[in-house]
Amino acid sequence: MTVLPRDVLHASLQDPVLESIGFLNEIMGRYPDALSFAPGAPHPAPYEGLDTARYLDRFTAHAAASGLGPERAARLLYEYGPARGLINGIVADALRRDQGIDADPDALVITVGAQEAMFLVLRALIASPGDVLAVSDPCFVGITSAASLLGAAVVPVPEDADGLDVGALAEACRAARRSGRRIRACYVAPDYANPGGTRMAAGRRPRLLELAAQEDFLVLEDNAYGFTAPPGAELPALKALDGGRRVVHIGTFAKVCFPGARVGYVVADQSVSTAGAAAVPLAAELARLKTAVTVNTSPVCQALIAGMLLEHGGSLAELSRARSALYRRNLARLLRALDREGAAGLPEGVEWNRPGGGFFVRMRLPVPADAGLLEVSAAGYGVLWTPMAPFHPGGGGTRTLRLSCSYLEPEEIDEGVRRLGAFLREHARPRSGAGARPGGSS
């Protein structure tokens, strides 16, 4: 039998982030009856009983009426299709209508989830060992994992209650130049980021774009959770403010439609000059890369998403309205349950933030929130959560955990927090002693 030493395989296979994801999956499998605040998965209720045939018919009827005719429209579902996508115009119209993002359909690529979009963008932009990706700290592990697979250097930039620290990012750019490198791109999720739940303040958004122009980097905007903003509290996407075309906008239909379709998109309208030929949008280059990765995104899955959009007037806002209300309900339920446990008394130093949207609450403990403590929580109290250390590429987060409320029913949230409170009272006491205090901002 052939045996391959692990150290001769790519270094990304030894990335601690991949190990942590595997551990979470393993422990959820060992404790199937535990109430889990670990997965950031969408709630299943919106897509139970989904009439997929109706949505496919809706799309093919739209395609036929657009000039293809019924026979050619039906064949779209059974062929490979173009790498750039089949539903670009429908998605572009929705982005223009609902988010003020004015992008030509040719500036979009329809991807296999947002994860493929991140991978393609990094592959295109990180062209040499001196090119560096800046990321918020804490940060979604999908982007840091993609960087690891590509061998791209990552520079963490701290965030505060108002999101990514633009001043710290400016200093990171200067430090990179002093070392002979440059920050080529900066990844940020401005609305209710995974894992921290932070939101970039309105005044900070144009400052980030100004810095991007000054330092000549692109902003990779991940917009997975913006739709959960309370009515009247919406803030413009960075791409909607992007007069200088500094933003590559990445989105997904996993949360607003259903995750099994695995459909995302990227808006990349930056101009790429080529010797002796007309300039093309960056999206065209990403589509070329895609032909070597997934060839194309499933036409059937694209048609399902397009059919859902068309049935809601082509509007992402209309499509996501009920889902947004569900997630706001769950988040409010989680915060109320935590407040009750705090009022009943929790160890000193246990505190949490209070995001206004999204799926996640971040909790700080006075003790390490590691795999060993999670094992105790699962085995003894029947409640799971996610250690935050893997989300901190700069180190840190060792005493922080993430609670996700998206997948649970309201009564499960209440019971899960009750179990969590009992666990914390026994295992999260600082060595100096215990003093009860309610949770607050962290």
Cβ atoms 127, 155 nearer than 8 A: no
| Residue 237 included in any domain | yes
Residue 433 included in any domain: no
In angstroms and rounded to an integer, the radius of gyration of the C-alpha atoms of the chain is 22
Q: What are the CA-CA distances from residue 94 to residues 122, 236, 263, 305, 317 (Å)?
A: 26, 15, 15, 12, 8
Q: What percent of the chain clears pLDDT 70, i.e. is strictly above it?
A: 97
Output the pLDDT for position 46: 85
Domain termination site, one of 247, 281, 316: 316
Domain assignment of residue 1, yes or no: no
Poorest-pLDDT segment among 70-74, 119-123, 368-372: 70-74
Residue linked to tokens 């959820």 = 28
Same-domain pairing of 309 and 396: no
Burial class (CB in 10 A: 0-12, 13-18, 19+), 301: buried
Residues 159 and 301 in one domain: yes
- Give pLDDT tens digits for 238-259: 999 999 999 999 999 999 999 9
The answer to the question of residue 207 being in a domain is yes
Pairwise CA distance, residues 226 & 230, whole Å: 10
Please, which pLDDT band fits residue 432 given cuts at 50, 70 and 90?
low
Does residue 324 share a domain with residue 267? no
pLDDT of residue 228: 96
Among 282, 316, 350, the domain boundary falls at 316
Residue 434 lies inside a defined structural domain of this protein: no
- Residue 400 located in a structural domain: yes
| pLDDT digits 0-9 by tens, 133-187 | 999 999 999 999 999 999 999 999 999 999 999 999 999 999 999 999 999 999 9
Residues 227 and 108 occupy one common structural domain: yes
The pLDDT value given to residue 434:
40
pLDDT of residue 387: 95
Helices (H), 216-315: 282-290, 299-311
- Whether 264 is covered by a domain: the verdict is yes
Q: Is residue 441 part of a domain?
A: no
Cβ-proximal residues to 223 (8 Å cutoff; 6+ apart), any chain: 189, 190, 191, 237, 239, 249, 250, 251
Work out the pLDDT band at 14, boundaries 50, 70, 90. Answer: confident
Same domain, 335 and 383: yes
Same domain, 161 and 78: yes
Q: Which domain holds residue 405?
A: 6-46+319-427
- Domains held by the chain: number: 2
Q: What pLDDT score does 324 carry?
A: 95
> Of 139, 46, 20, which is closest to residue 385 (Cα–Cα)?
20
Residue 356: CATH number of its domain: 3.90.1150.10
Does residue 57 share a domain with residue 33? no
**What pLDDT score does 97 carry?**
95
pLDDT at 100 over 60: yes
Please answer whether residues 193 and 226 qualify as being in contact, where contact means their C-beta atoms are separated by less than 8 angstroms.
Answer: no
For residues 105 and 124, state if they share a domain: yes
Q: Which regions of 119-206 does DSSP assign to beta strands (E)?
A: 131-137, 153-160, 163-164, 182-188
**Last residue of a domain, which of 294, 316, 338?**
316
Mean pLDDT of the chain: 93
| Same domain? 23 vs 65 | no
Residues 166, 31 share a domain: no
Q: What SS3 class is residue 219?
A: strand
Q: What is the CATH number of the domain that holds 120?
A: 3.40.640.10
**38 with 89, same domain?**
no
Whether 257 and 399 map to the same domain: the answer is: no
Contacts of 4 (CB under 8 A, 6+ apart): none
